Amino acid sequence: HNTTISNMVLYGQIIIGAPGAGKTTYCDGMQQYLKLLGRECYVVNLDPANEIPPSSNDDGDGDDDNGVTTANENKLQGAEEGEEEIDTSNANTNTQLPYTTILDVCQDIISLDSVMSELNLGPNGGLLYCMEYIEHHLGEVLKLLKERLGINNTNNSSSSSSSN
């Protein structure tokens, strides 16, 4: 199993749809199916609204999420200060998802709940902010994904010369 991913042909699927359409069920089923065939399957969750429910010590009013979104709040503050920093921890523990992810945007980059509480936005404005944040930091998202896949990116000259 010493073959590097960069030497292999990779295939992918992009699954989109309305809430409740079955995207999570499909991804779970596809991951199980591919594992049964003996194939490696990596799932990337790019839905900032598909996140862990509030912790049990939350009072339920939705106003105070202290301790739940600390990492995401720090990422938002960094974005406001012009820093482009993405959390690179490998802990993908979104217990709401029935499948294993190699990258979960809610855990690793930005989540809708933290955006809504930090910036006082509603769900639609929060989703727009999250999507624009992901788009603006796409280079870091791809770098994080490549790190997790074990892909060495030595010719990174095009992204290293960007400035704000």
Angle (CA) 21 26 35, round 5° = 170
pLDDT of 163 > 70? The answer is no
* Confidence band, pLDDT 50/70/90 cuts, at residue 19: confident
Distance in Å from the first CA to the final CA of the chain: 41
State residue 102 phi and psi, 5-degree precision: -90, -25
Residue in the block written with tokens 């709401």: 96
Contact criterion met (CB below 8 Å) for 105 and 71: no
Task: Enter the pTM of the model.
Answer: 0.63
Distance CA 28, CA 97 (A): 8
Residue in the block written with tokens 């727009």: 128
pLDDT value, residue 130: 96
The two three-digit tokens of residue 25, written as one number: 């069920």
Higher pLDDT, 95 or 127: 127
Q: What is the pLDDT of residues 24-79, one digit of tens each?
A: 899 999 999 999 999 989 999 999 988 755 544 444 444 433 333 334 444 444 44
Lowest mean pLDDT segment, chosen from 4-8, 13-17, 81-85: 81-85
Average pLDDT value for the chain: 74
pLDDT value, residue 97: 82
